[in-house]
Amino acid sequence: MTVHLEVADGVGTLRLDRPPMNALDVATQDRLKELAEEATRREDVRAVVIYGGGKVFAAGADIKEMQVMDHAAMVARSRGLQDAFTAVARIPKPVVAAVTGYALGGGCELALCADFRIAGENARLGQPEILLGLIPGAGGTQRLSRLVGPSKAKDLIFTGRQVKADEALTLGLVDRVVPAAEVYEQAHAWAARLAKGPAIALRAAKEAIDTGLETDIETGLAVERNWFAGLFATEDRERGMRSFVEEGPGKAEFL
């Protein structure tokens, strides 16, 4: 298999495993969707790490596979491509991308599907599709512009240039830069911390934020309001407030 789901301590690691560069061919895309949906369903998965290994995250699509596809073939495939990445973006749990080495094209787009991105000092990110006479097709034109703003996204997409980890941090493309050897450890620690949190409230926060970014503020506020009120029916809310009153802030333990 080209993608694995490994679960420990409430954290599910979606591990890309297609040496040497984790090229995202059709089979890998479909497997990624399958496992993202499994991570969504599984109650023992409370947070997710996306990881490609110590040397490379994912260098992009399988160009040799794409080269033989004509217009009709890509019309038939493009929805499946986007659906695979959307399945990752819609995991209703905290998701962090642990980025080492190249995260280009589809690799960068996969990192964009996470809620948080931790990059190694050796990371190189970019959307080089324009150099092939193409544009990003797995969500890059939409998620990148929402993350870093339209002008910065256009710079990266129009030029196809790669950015090193320090520039990616300045652009807001990644959230933290650490030594390459520490990327997975720190990503797992971020996920493990949130895996101990209130699962329904975390899901609510993610949905409210993501929905708000895709709609007008009034609709976003309605989503927030409904979730906020709904959480008063949860055991986690009772546990959190009781702990606050009896023990002080930040000491609640959630199931």
Catalytic annotation, residues: 109, 129
Interatomic CA distance for residues 147 and 145, integer angstroms: 5
Interatomic CA distance for residues 166 and 233, integer angstroms: 44
Rg (CA), the chain: 19
Interatomic CA distance for residues 9 and 169, integer angstroms: 29
Q: What is the DSSP string of 113-181?
A: TSSEEEEETT-EEE-GGGGGT----SSHHHHHHHHH-HHHHHHHHHH--EEEHHHHHHHTS-SEEE-GG
